């Protein structure tokens, strides 16, 4: 494999960081790319460098593990990176001023359109009871 120059490593790291910041890559994928593309090391060697097990590194790279912040920070520092907060990627479409944002047609979370609320059920029961008393049993059957 061809040796990476410092400039090429910096370009790779910048690309990986941008892919992660924009949400295209997960943290695990970014760490895997850093390990493979920047260092070219296998999991066993890189895990030993980071004082962790190969299984723990594998789980981090597959986004299955639950690593501590200090573990992630120690991995990132090997590449001159630090763990921190970033702004979420903004949407490409921003509605012009004076116009309302489009309303989502998705149901409200927790709402079941087929299920009647308790208030609606009580009104239906009240209406049936009222019909029964005014018209007798005849109105309730209709």
Q: Tell me, what's the pLDDT at 89?
A: 61
Residue 72, SS3? helix
Q: Tell me, what's the pLDDT at 125?
A: 46
Q: Tell me, what's the pLDDT at 31?
A: 95
Q: Tell me, what's the pLDDT at 51?
A: 92
Q: Tell me, what's the pLDDT at 95?
A: 58
Where in 15-127 does DSSP place strands (E)? none
Count the neighbouring beta carbons within 10 Å of the beta carbon of residue 30.
21
Cα–Cα distances (Å) from 65 to 37, 60, 62, 71, 110, in that order, read 22, 5, 8, 11, 30
pLDDT tens digits in sequence order for the chain, 142 residues long: 457 788 999 999 999 999 988 889 999 999 999 999 999 999 999 999 999 999 999 999 999 989 999 999 999 999 999 888 766 666 555 556 665 655 666 666 665 656 555 555 444 444 444 445 455 555 444 4
For residue 106, report the phi and psi dihedrals to the nearest 5 degrees: -70, 145
Q: Tell me, what's the pLDDT at 83?
A: 84
């Amino acid at each position: 494999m061809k040796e990476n120059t410092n400039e090429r490593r910096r370009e790779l790291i910048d690309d990986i960081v941008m892919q992660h910041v924009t949400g295209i890559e997960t943290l695990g994928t970014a760490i895997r790319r850093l390990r493979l593309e920047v260092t070219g090391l296998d999991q066993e060697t890189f895990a030993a460098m980071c004082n962790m097990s190969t299984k723990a590194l594998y789980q981090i790279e597959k986004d299955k593990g639950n690593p501590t912040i200090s573990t992630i920070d120690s991995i990132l520092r090997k590449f001159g990176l630090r763990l921190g907060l970033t702004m979420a990627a903004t949407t490409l479409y921003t509605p012009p001023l004076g116009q309302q944002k489009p309303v989502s047609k998705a149901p409200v979370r927790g709402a079941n359109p087929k299920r009647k609320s308790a208030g609606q059920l009580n009104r239906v029961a009240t209406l049936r009871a009222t019909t029964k008393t005014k018209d007798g049993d005849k109105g309730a059957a209709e």
